[in-house]
Amino acid sequence: MALVHGASGEQTERTRPAAGAGGTTDTARAALAAARAARADELDRWLAGLLARDRAQERDDPAPGVALLAVGSHARRELTPGGDLDLVLVHDGHPAIADIADRVWYPIWDAGLRLDHSVRTLTEARAVARTDMKAALGLLSARPIAGDSALVGELRAAVLADWRADAARRLPELADMCRERWRSQGELAFLLEPDVKEAHGGLRDVHVMQAVAASWVASAPGERVRAAHGLLLDVRHALHEVTGRAADRLVLQEHEPVAHALGLRDADVLLRAVAEAARTITYAGDHLWRRVERFRASRRGTGTPRPATSAATGRGAARTVERKPVGDGAVEHDGEVALARGADLDDPSLVLRVAAAAAEAGMPLAPATVDRLAERAALPSAPWPDAARDALVALLGAGAAAIGVWEALDQAGLIVRLIPDWARVRNRPQRNPFHRFTVDRHLVAAAAEAAALTREVARPDLLLVGALLHDIGKGRPGDHSVAGAVVARDLAARMGFADGDVRVLETLVRYHLLLPDTATRRDIDDPATVRTVTKALEAVPGRERETLELLSALAVADAKATGPSAWGSWKARQVAELSRRAAAALSGGTPPPAPVLGPETLALARHDGGAVRIAGSRVTIAAPDRPGLLWRAAGVLALHRLVVRSARTVSSPAAESRATAVLDFTAVPEYGTPPDPAALEADLRRMLAGRLDVAERLERRAQAMRVRPGITVPPPRVGIVHDASSTATVVEVRAHDRPGLLWRIGQALGECGLSVRAAQVDTLGAEAVDVFYVVDAQGRPVSDPDALAAVRRHVLAALS
């Protein structure tokens, strides 16, 4: 019985894998799997013998009406050296069941094995399974060892039938148990000392998936999940052998021995493998629980579930689900975002655009859509087209909602194809108690935190991408900030950023620790401390102030994504004060000048009436200047489901009479094909002629739209840029882009009695940064503080 004793924790030559230099991962893991299989077979033979009668009573003939079942790890043939035996003795009212139980249990205890056991009639076992979740999960995976096979078959059929009939009640209970366990144990992928069995993404979650699959509500775990489960099972097995005890928490001092027992190079390779497996399981589990929620909604808490529809098996009846557009090439389908019919898979911006649509709608990507994008969709080549870069910024700007979507792309291998340098930081552990995530998840979390700070900076796109890349140098030799700056420069150029923006992003990565480190380790009252900051900003001449505000916001996002102990009120005050002093020390910088249009566009102003030119996404209008012209034109574009990406408007003196306004828009469809240019031009001309009620049409469209909860975004900001112009008041609006945004802003300014003399409107990803040069009814700038405050309040109210 040497092998049986090994089950209690002793190492034997037969089960110990090759360590380190002597073995490989495959051979070491194969040895562990073979050891588990051999122990399962030997335990089965031994336990079957214990159940049999003594020789005088035909030893090889088990007692009729009695059966011995394995549940838990041994039932799955996964019993690791420190695992417990979990056995159930089932009978049909056998009068000698107590004696039979004694002859089975006592030898197990005498052998020194830990045993969890129970004795029940078929009726009792069924009743307990309907009320006790642990008992139900055990019996769902029960495996007969010996005894009355008919009794076993009857019990398994009854337990399965009850489980399926009670699914609407039991699965929510199971979900609550899982959530409580996750709160207690944390995320396996991101812990330095995880419990590989109980943590979120661990072995227990796969067993739960198998139980849910038994209810027919969802499919059984796929190949990738089974492979991840196998890796974690081997880690647990090696941990038990290394420690000689039933330990499921992978503590720091055991990392290296367990890695060597698995034939891995070192502890970091082990942690990366564990993180990869855990994230695979967690991602599959998230999809499974969404299936459960949809089942609950469809069954309304009663009834027997239908089998989960499977593309491979064709089981399950299809049901009609309405598809609602959520973006260009993307639709909402059954609570997930899927590809629209006819989506152009050759469009290099499609993957990021669909991902951004999902994140902005606050919904997950459908797994089938992710798989299809990974298999078929084109990806942007260097330099990325503007649409792909804007989609990446929009995805990151969705904040916390972007994390799950990013994870879906990552699981499909799309992130490393989009950003090849991501492979070096993917699942990389951070052996630092302050960090709660692997490097790659920390970067995505930092971008999510940065999304809440986009109102604080002039270039939200650079803040979001800078946050995504700030630690991209980790895992490379030397200072990760220095190494990362080189990588960020190459990646920014690959993404198609302009040369000046590339330098800013390179500087953000190189100096992302400058403000927090200097503010907390130096005397900020010393002028040399401020000079340290301003000297670093010399790398971006002409953009020092802009880069300083980006570094300040990035410091906050980085710290908050690191963990709760990395950011506090004192550190926040120090960083803010250092940033303020550095800004004061810089030589200035001026607000952006009033926009000026080129001669070709201004040539349209020679038309006496109104001129409309539509060329692809470019819409240019020249007409006699009048109050409300800008926002009414923007309203017509919104009616045709066009999103304004940029707008430039100026008033030019006409040769013969009053001023002429020239409006130059870049507008793209919200989704689907562009509108008919002839219909758009006709509506614009009707608007110019005063024969189109834009407000009434927009109101009808708004009432017809279904409201989705979407994502939580920072509130809009409205500011007055003082001293930016001597002839107009400059109003700056920063807000999350949405259909009709420019209409709402312009209408609010008009209701304040202001006319827009010039405007510069830009949408960076999903963030609008709009500047308006406005004058009052007498053509003068507004200077009264109360009037300016009223303008701010009115525009904010229009955007709420």
Tell me what pLDDT residue 760 has. 80
| Identity of the amino acid at 349 | S
What tens digit of pLDDT does each residue of 591-603 get?
444 445 566 666 6
State the first-to-last Cα distance of the chain, in angstroms, to the nearest integer.
74
CA pair distance 770, 772, nearest whole angstrom:
7
User: How much of the chain exceeds pLDDT 70, in percent?
Assistant: 88
Number of Cβ atoms within 10 Å of the Cβ of 19: 16
Q: In DSSP terms, which residues pair with 790 in a beta bridge?
A: none
What would the two tokens of residue 2 be? Answer: 């040497």
Q: What is the DSSP letter of 166?
A: T
Superfamily of domain 169-299: Nucleotidyltransferases  domain 2 (1.20.120.330)
Residues 520-545, mean pLDDT to the nearest whole number: 88
Residue carrying structure tokens 């529809």: 309
- The token duo for 789 is 């405050």
Long-range CB contact pairs, 449-452, < 8 A, 24+: 449/556, 449/557, 449/558, 449/560, 449/561, 450/396, 450/553, 450/554, 450/557, 451/396, 451/397, 451/398, 451/399, 451/402, 451/713, 451/714, 452/399, 452/714
Q: Which of 380-389, 434-443, 763-772 has the highest mean pLDDT?
A: 380-389
Q: Which 8-state DSSP code applies to residue 408?
A: H
- Listed residue (518, 519, 661) closest to 595, CA to CA: 661
Enter the DSSP assignment of 308.
Answer: P
More confident residue, 17 or 529: 529
Give the tens place of pLDDT for each residue, 546-573.
999 999 999 999 999 998 878 888 889 8
For 95-104, 476-485, 618-627, which range has the lowest pLDDT when averaged over its residues? Answer: 618-627
Residues in the chain: 800
pLDDT attached to residue 357: 94
Cβ proximity of 370 and 412 under 8 Å: yes
Predicted confidence (pLDDT) per residue in 112-141, tens digit: 899 999 999 999 999 999 999 999 999 999
- Residue 121: the pLDDT is 95
Residue 410 pLDDT? 97
- Model confidence pTM above 0.75: yes
How far apart are the C-alpha atoms of 227 and 78, rounded to whole Å? 14
| pLDDT of the residue at 319 | 54
Lowest mean pLDDT among 52-66, 185-199, 561-575, 615-629: 52-66
Rounded distance between C-alpha atoms, residue 239 and residue 219, angstroms: 31
pLDDT value of residue 11: 34
Tokens of 444: 């995505």
- Tell me what the mean pLDDT of segment 337-346 comes to: 93
- Spatial neighbors of 9 by CB under 8 A, at least 6 apart, are 81, 82, 240, 244, 245, 246
| All residues at 6 or more sequence positions from 40 whose CB lies less than 8 Å from its CB, including other chains | 74, 77, 79
Residue 265: pLDDT band (50, 70, 90) is very high
- Dihedral over Cα of 150, 156, 158, 164: its sign: negative
Q: Over range 467-488, report the average pLDDT.
A: 96
CB distance 461 to 393 below 8 Å: yes
Tokens of 548: 């300083």
CATH architecture of 2-165: Orthogonal Bundle (1.10)
Contact 720, 786 (CB under 8 A): no
Which residues, at least 6 apart from 162, have a Cβ–Cβ distance to it below 8 Å? 126, 129, 130
How confident is residue 10, by pLDDT bands cut at 50, 70 and 90? Answer: very low
Sheet strand arrangement including 66-70: 115-121, 85-91, 66-70, 143-147
Cα pseudo-dihedral 528, 532, 533, 534, rounded to 10: 80
Tokens of 151: 């009794």
